[in-house]
Amino acid sequence: MKLINKKVLSFDCYGTLIDWESGLVKALRTLGDEVFKSKSHDELLGIFANIEHAMQADQSQLKYQEILYLVAQKVSEENGLTTSEHQLANFSKSILEWQPFEDTTEALQKLSKHFKLVILSNVDNESIAVSAHKMGDPFYKILTAEDVGAYKPSHKMFEYLFTTLENEGISRDEILHVAQSIYHDHVPAYDLWLDSVWINRRHDKVGQGATKEVSNEYTPKVKFRSLKEFVEYVDCVMKSSIR
């Protein structure tokens, strides 16, 4: 990977730029705090992940807020919870309240001086518009599962990214994908020969949180514990290139 040759940084959003784990856990507890109060942060994420992955594979035509509604319904059924329509609807809309990580907005501002920034996200257009605004709207393009009719790790999402940028005169070799989830992002990036860097937001935690575990062969060689660390690396490379 030669960073100096890259024109575009494509980002996963939720988990990389937006703190989806904290948002999910908070939303899950609204479904049944009495039942879930004894469960850890990661146990709740595991409950969510097992259901969400299946829903996205089986119901890829649905918008992400609709996926969240069905996940909340299934979580409730499997855990003996009695949830109202209001609770389910609130869970599906909770994504609109999820917040950026502390380093996200400033990092994106700095990176936008060197690259075009693109989001490639497993969500609907309404949700991503709200989240992008929270981050200062620094994005050149925003591509979503709603646009594609598929969810990562489907290769369709990445092929849509390639086609969209090729129409702008940007080749695959000029894209660097930046993401937290190995399962959703780095596995397909590896398969499709797309350079990627790992923002390991869970570096101080055990397990994969709300994503599936995969073989170590997919772990990117270039990794950072935060977006701030990545920006520091980028700044160093860019300064060296103009000496």
- The single-letter DSSP state of residue 117 is E
Model pTM above 0.75: yes
Cβ distance 58 to 150 under 8 Å? no
Helix (H) / strand (E) element for 27: namely helix 20-36
Window from 23-32, 130-139, 186-195 with minimum mean pLDDT: 23-32
SS3 per residue for 134-163: HCCCCCCEEEEHHHHCCCCCCHHHHHHHHH
Q: Which domains does the chain have, with CATH numbers?
A: 3-19+99-241 (3.40.50.1000), 20-97 (1.10.150.750)
What confidence tens digit (pLDDT) does each residue in 76-127 have? 999 898 899 999 999 999 999 999 999 999 999 999 999 999 999 999 999 9
- The yes-or-no verdict on residue 243 having pLDDT over 60 is no
Task: Please say if 12 is a catalytic residue.
Answer: yes
Cβ distance 220 to 185 under 8 Å? no
Q: By percentage, how much of the chain surpasses pLDDT 90?
A: 76
